[in-house]
Chain A
Amino acid sequence: MTCCGGNIAADGAAGVSAAADFARAEELLHAGRERDDGTVEYVFSAPDIHCGACISSIERAIRPMHGIAYVRVNLSLRRVTVHLDPAATGPVEVAGALAALGFPARPVDLGDLDELERKRRDSELLKSLAVAGFASANIMLLSVSVWSGAEGATRDLFHLISALIAIPAVFYAGRVFFRSAWGALRNGRVNMDVPISLAISLATGMSLFEALTGGDKTYFEAATMLLFFLLIGRYLDQRMRERVRTAVVQLSRLSAKGANVLTDQGEMRYLPLDEIEPGMTVRVFAGDRLPVDGTVRSGLSDVDRSLVTGESLPVTAEKGTALEAGAMNLTGVLDIDVTNAADKSFLAEVQAMMEAAENGRGAYVRAADRAARLYAPFVHSLAAIAFVAWMVITGGDWHTSLYIAIALLIITCPCALGLAVPVVHVIGATRLFESGILMKDGAALERLAEANEAVFDKTGTLTTGTPTVTECAIERPGDISVARALAASSGHPASRALLTHLGNGAMARGSGIAEHPGLGVEGSFSGGRARLGRMAWVAGIAEKNGARDASGGLTFAVEGGPLLTITLGEHVRDGGAAAIGALQNAEIGTRIVSGDAAAQVARLADRLGVTEWHADQSPADKIARIEALRAQGRKVLFVGDGINDAPALAAGHVSMAPASGSDVGRTAADFVFTRDSLEAVTAARGIALRAQSLVRQNFALAFAYNVIAVPIAMAGMVTPLVAAIAMSASSIVVVLNSMRLTRGSPAPAANRPARRDRDGLAVGTGSMEAAE
């Protein structure tokens, strides 16, 4: 443990910070997208935009800038879109101007075409919804006149007009369902869209036949109304995912797309990540994460590997130290010999493990599709029975028999079932959102309700990842004011912890306070020189025969004085004990699996009352633990934050990550909680359990509906009017029942949003509201 150099936020040698800015500028330049007219489009995420006045102040300030072709603020997403002439200005100037206005902004990566693609599909769903709504409203008008007694040529005309509206509408708006049903059938599976597609296409086909042959009943309005209702459910579901995705993107930092490579001539060049090869030397500045794996060639610094390995305390990096991609360089400048290309780095390895682990979860079948597996064969065989029975009764009238069989399929079309799950999930996601929890996917809510074993990572998950002082030998007021002055001049986590521990108060005036990377802080005070930092270094000025404690913690000494040790411990996340207690009361097994050393893990496990813990776990070990639990039939909820947790997050039956975690961890997790408290875990579980019981109730309601509808249909008493009323009534009942999830205890308000994650990136309510 050391205390050390450059205040990350503020100073550092001017040349170094200029070079670091250069790297960030290069990164900015890579975030743009060229447009057809030669300008380049940049999108900045500025979470501080919150009102109409912000819009006008930003737009008025940016628009007159040289080289700006277009600027528009999006208040809903808290983004600023700028088109600029690359010859005249650059994104750095725009980011600078935004920051000067009080809106610190980060560029959003437009290379992320995936998002644009998703957006396109989203608006397609909305268009389908509009088309289905138009068709069903107009057909309903025509149908009402038929039901109220239109006859002869008028009725036939109305049927034909309905057919003209319905057929293109079904083809256009039904594509989503047909595509999904076809995909499932081709793989030999049945999902909810199979019976839906079948009912819609049979209803349309049969009605077309009736309309052309002058029959008296058509089901065009039923087919289009069904589509309309189901598309509402689909659209809400899609919007929920889009919203969460936006929120998660806002949390993630623009990851390093390149690195500063030192050439043989000693120059620094910025190269994209995929051009970096083993043998090159890369310079990493304080405050940056390592882009690739490597060993230190020169330089001295402290490196925070907590996101990489789960070690809670920073390690000293000096010549020869091997470091992994993703580790954060805290204090000094490091030159690193690249040992692995980016696609073979630790991070890439973790990603490969994640993908392998995710395959296991792919076997999960959503509740709706599980229901469809029972439902589809059931109604289809009922329809076949009805057909055969009516053939016998009517003595071979195939037209009547087929008509009744198809009417049965239409009225049992799982419209209510199709809505039963998405509506609950959407409302559940909204409730979670209010509690500061982002849900990636509706199925995650189902899996969370099933979890019966909770596995926690330690560093950054059960603890906040920032150290706190547990014991401090600095007692004399004079020493305290000197220590305070030294700690205040360093950005190292240990110094900040000491400063918090010592509290506000007098600060001794010193001169020549300097930070030595990898060693500590030194300064001259009235009582002589004083040092705060690594023991061996501090001992250099302490009294020669003082007690030497080998623990290697943070130490402080005034020249010639005794060596004073400070013991650092970890800060348990708020609500940690409460959450663990609640899980244990619910008879959910709890255990800790950490990459940190046994002593630290044991201490924390003891404090939280967790009896089962495993220390020194590699990412592969974590997966193995989860697989072992799965083999015993347990459904594992994994909560973790680091890069080393990402494979386990993907392997768990369901997983959660704090917003302060690594990008890769957040991507792998099903849920991301943005508030500090670990009670998010129990809050999410509570909502998941209520959602599960509502989904079951909805299935029961849909079943009850069928108990009534099927006999009527089999008796051949279904008319288009009965079908229209029955189907809309059952859908409305299911939606109303799902709305009950909005009631109940309000979200715990005590949890304050996490203000900053470890990168100093502002997260919390701002970015969440942004996605609303």
Chain B
Amino acid sequence: MTLLTVLIPIALFLGLLGLGAFIWSLNSGQYEDLDGAAARILEDDED
């Protein structure tokens, strides 16, 4: 039982981390141009 007091916070923390990461990526505009992101990865930027 005592294991639960460790495992549940870990599970929730990981879940919140994922949620936080998603909301961060949303706010920083990473979903603005999905097609462009796919194309840009193939660019070798010299500059």
Contact = CB atoms under 8 A, between A and B. Distances in A.
A740 interface: no
B47 A138 contact: no
Interface string A155-169: 001000100010000
A131 B19 contact: yes
Main SS of the interface on chain B? helix
A388 interface: no
Contacts of A52: 36, 38-40, 42-43
A127 B16 CA distance: 13
A141 B34 CA distance: 32
A126 B34 CA distance: 16
Interface string A498-518: 000000000000000000000
Interface residues of B, number: 24
Interface in B9-47: 11-12, 15-16, 18-19, 22-23, 26-27, 32-36, 38-40, 42-43, 47
Interface stretch (A72-80, A277-285, A336-344, A659-667): A72-80
B1 interface: yes
Contact size class for A?
A: 20 to 34
Contact of B32 (A51, A63, A74): A74
Contact of B33 (A56, A76, A130, A157): A76
B4 interface: yes
A137 B36 contact: no
Nearest to A56: B43
B6 interface: no
Contacts of B12: 138, 161, 165
Main SS of the interface on chain A? helix
B23 A130 contact: yes
Contacts of B43: 52, 55-56
Contact of B47 (A51, A60, A154, A161): A60
Contacts of A60: 47
Given A51-B39, A52-B40, A138-B12, A74 B18 contact: no
A493 to B, nearest CB: 38
B36 A74 contact: yes
Contact of A75 (B16, B19, B39): B39
A154 B4 contact: yes
Interface string A63-76: 10000000001111
B19 A130 contact: yes
Contact of A130 (B8, B22, B36, B39): B22
A76 B43 CA distance: 17
28 contacts: A52-B36, A52-B40, A52-B42, A55-B36, A55-B39, A55-B40, A55-B43, A56-B43, A63-B47, A73-B36, A74-B32, A74-B33, A74-B36, A75-B35, A75-B36, A75-B39, A76-B32, A123-B26, A126-B26, A127-B23, A127-B26, A130-B19, A130-B22, A134-B16, A134-B18, A141-B11, A154-B1, A165-B12
Given A55-B43, A76-B32, A141-B11, 16 more contacts: A52-B43, A55-B40, A63-B47, A74-B32, A74-B33, A75-B36, A75-B39, A76-B34, A126-B26, A130-B19, A130-B26, A134-B16, A134-B19, A138-B12, A154-B1, A161-B8
Interface of B: 1, 4, 8, 11-12, 15-16, 18-19, 22-23, 26-27, 32-36, 38-40, 42-43, 47
